[in-house]
Structure 1
Amino acid sequence: MVQLKNKLPCILAAITLVLTAAEAASASVRGVAPEKYELYKASSDGTWTCLDGSKIISHNAINDDYCDCVDGSDEPGTSACPNGLFYCANVGHIPSTIKSYAVNDGVCDEACCDGSDENGGLITCPNRCKAVGEAYRRDQSSLQQSTLAGLAAKEKLIEEAENQVTLWEEQQIKLEDEIILKKSNMLRLQRELKVLEAARTTKKKTKCQSNVLEIDTLKHDITILLKELESLKSILGDMKRDHNHNFHDMAVKSAIAGYDDFMNRYEGIKESINDDVANINVQEPEEQEEEEEEEPTIEEETIDSKEEGKHSFAMTIVEKLESILPDVLKKSLLDKLVPIVKNDNKKAIPHSGISNEADVENARKLYEAADSEVDQLTAELQKIKDDLAIDYGTQREWLKLKDVCVEKDEGEYTYSLCFLGDAYQKSNKDSTRTFLGKFSNFDDGNYKTHTHSQGTRCWNGPERSVKATIECGVNNEIIEVSEPEKCEYHFRMLSPAVCQRIQESTEKTTNNKPIHEEL
Structure 2
Amino acid sequence: MKQKVSYSSANQIRAPQCASARPVAAFPFAKEEGSPSSESRYLRCPHRLRSSSMMTCAALLIVIGMAVSSAAAVEVQRPRGVPLSKRQFYEENKPFTCLDGSRTIPFDRVNDDYCDCRDGSDEPGTAACPNGSFHCTNAGFRPTFIPSSRINDGICDCCDTTDEYNSGAKCENTCKELGQKEHEVLQKMAEITKEGFLLKQQLIQEAKNRQQEKQSKLTELQNNKKELEEKVEALRTVKETAEQPEKEAKELHLKAWEEQKAIIRAEKDKAKMAEAFLELDDDADGFVAVAELQTHAELDTDADGTVSETEAQGLLGGVDHVDTASFEKVWDNIKDKYVSESQPVEPAPVDTPPEESNKLADNDSEQYPSDDDVQEEEEEDEEEDDYPEEDFDKAPPTVKTPPKKDEDEEAMPPYDDETRVLIDAAQKARDNFEESERALRDVDDQMKNIEKEISFDFGPDSEFSYLYSQCYELTTSEYIYKLCPFNRVSQKPKYGGSETNLGTWGTWAGPEDNKYLLMKYEHGTGCWQGPNRSTTVKLTCGKETTVMSTSEPSRCEYLMEFTTPAVCQEPEAVISSLHGHDEF
- TM class by shorter-chain length? 0.5 to 0.7
Distance in 1 between residues matched to 2:233 and 2:498, nearest whole Å: 52
CA deviation profile, 1:371-426 (whole Å, cap 9, x unmatched): 33222222222222222232222222221112322222221222221111222212
SS across alignment from 1:76? coil
Cα distance between partner residues in 1 of 2:33 and 2:554: 67
Instruction: Name the amino acid aligned to 1:115.
Output: T
Aligned equivalent of 1:172: 218
Q: 1:108 to 1:150 in 2, by over 3 A?
A: same
> CA separation of 1:420/1:28 partners in 2, compared to 1, >3 Å: closer, same or farther?
same
Paired with 1:508 and 1:488, the residues of 2 have a C-alpha distance of 38
TM-aligned CA distance change 1:49 to 1:459, over 3 Å: closer
SS in 2 for 1:18: coil
CA gap of 1:393–1:198, structure 2 versus 1, over 3 A, is same
2:172 corresponds, among 105, 111, 126, to 126
The AA in structure 1 aligned to 2:82 is V
- 2: CA distance between counterparts of 1:185 and 1:16? 98
**Residues in 2 aligned to 1:41 and 1:26: alpha-carbon distance in whole angstroms:** 11
Residue type of the alignment partner of 1:464? R
Mapped to 2, the partners of 1:186 and 1:362 lie a distance apart of 14
Aligned length: 346
Letter in 1 for 2:131: N
SS at match of 1:150: helix
Checking the alignment, whether the CA contact within 8 Å between 2:183 and 2:578 is kept in structure 1 is no
The residue number in structure 1 matching 2:341 is none
Q: Which residue of 2 aligns with 1:493?
A: 562
Displacement after TM superposition at 1:200 (Å): 4.9
Q: Verify the 8 A CA contact 2:547 2:561 in the aligned structure 1.
A: yes
Q: CA deviation at 1:23?
A: 9.1
What is the distance in 1 between the residues matched to 2:75 and 2:122? 15
CA drift at 1:125: 1.2
Distance 1:18-1:422 versus aligned 2 partners, 3 A rule: same
Q: What does residue range 146-295 of structure 1 map to in structure 2 within 5 Å?
A: 146-200=192-246
Q: Does 1:372 align with 2:388?
A: no
Aligned to 2:154: 106
Contact 1:92 1:130 in 2 (8 A): yes
Select the residue among 79, 83, 92 that pairs with 1:42: 92
> 1:413–1:428: 8 Å Cα contact kept in structure 2?
yes
How far the C-alpha of 1:367 sits from its partner, in A, is: 2.7
Q: What amino acid sits opposite 2:451 in the alignment?
A: K
8 A Cα contact 2:32 2:75, kept in partner? no
Secondary structure class of the residue paired with 1:404: coil
Q: How much does 1:136 deviate? A: 0.6
Do structure 1's residue 87 and structure 2's residue 156 form an aligned pair?
Answer: no
Task: Note if 1:145 corresponds to 2:191.
Answer: yes
8 Å Cα contact 1:26-1:41 kept in structure 2: no
Asked whether the 8 Å contact 1:27–1:38 carries over to 2, the reply is no
1:455 pairs with one of 524, 530, 533? 524
CA deviation digits over 1:7-47, x for unaligned, max 9?
A: xxxxxxxx99434977966643221123333321133xx64
Indicate conservation of the 8 Å contact 1:27/1:40, yes or no: no
Structure number with larger C-alpha Rg = 2
Q: 1:195 and 1:38 mapped to 2: Cα distance?
A: 97
Q: Matched residue of 1:191: which SS? A: helix
Structure 1 equivalent of residue 577 of structure 2 = 506
Structure 1 residue 477: Cα displacement: 2.2
Residue pair 1:422, 1:438 contacting (<8 A) in 2 also: yes
User: Could you report, residue by residue, the CA deviation over 1:253-282 in whole angstroms, capped at 9, with x for unpaired residues?
Assistant: xxxxxxxxxxxxxxxxxxxxxxxxxxxxxx
Match of 1:218 in 2: none
Shift of 1:431: 4.6
What CA distance in whole angstroms lies between the structure 2 residues aligned with 1:200 and 1:428? 61
Q: What CA distance in whole angstroms lies between the structure 2 residues aligned with 1:99 and 1:16?
A: 30
Q: Which has the higher helix share?
A: 1
Greater displacement, 130-139 / 396-405: 396-405
Moved more, 365-374 or 120-129: 365-374
Structure 2 residue aligned with 1:360: 426
2:461 alignment partner, SS class: coil
1:473 equivalent in alignment to 2:542: yes
CA distance in 2, matches of 1:378, 1:35: 64
Secondary structure of the corresponding residue to residue 503 of structure 1: helix
2:459 maps to 393
**d(CA) in 1 for partners of 2:522, 2:33:** 73
Select the residue among 29, 32, 47 that pairs with 2:82: 32
Letter aligned with residue 506 of structure 1 = S
Q: Does the residue aligned with 1:120 lie in a helix, a strand or coil?
A: coil
- What is aligned with 1:58? 106
Q: In the TM superposition, what is the alpha-carbon distance from 1:509 to its structure 2 partner?
A: 6.4
8 Å Cα contact 2:481-2:492 kept in structure 1: yes
Q: Superposed, which structure 2 residues align to 1:324-473 within 5 Å?
A: 356-444=422-510, 446-473=515-542
The code of the aligned residue for 1:438 comes to T
Quick one: distance in 2 between partners of 1:70 and 1:460?
48
CA-atom RMSD in angstroms: 3.1
CA 1:507–1:97: 2 relative to 1, 3 Å:
farther
- Report the CA distance shift for 1:176/1:49 in structure 2 as closer, same or farther (over 3 A): closer
Residues 65 and 150 of structure 1, relative CA distance in 2, 3 Å threshold: same
What TM-score do you get using the length of structure 2 for normalisation?
A: 0.54
**The 10-residue stretch of structure 1 (20-29 or 477-486) with the greater mean CA deviation from structure 2:** 20-29
Contact (CA 8 Å) 1:94, 1:507: kept in 2 or not?
no
Q: Which residue of 2 aligns with 1:18?
A: 34
Seen in structure 2, the aligned counterparts of structure 1 residues 464 and 121 have a Cα distance that, compared at 3 Å, is closer
Of the structure 1 ranges 89-98 and 134-143, higher mean CA displacement relative to structure 2 is found in: 89-98
| Shift in Å, 1:72 | 2.1
- CA 1:69–1:167 in structure 2 vs 1: closer, same or farther (change >3 Å)? same
Q: Indicate whether 1:117 and 2:187 are aligned.
A: no
Which letter maps to 1:114? D
**CA offset at residue 140 of structure 1?**
0.5
Which residue identity is paired with 2:521?
Answer: H
Gaps of 5+ in 1: 1-14, 205-351, 512-519
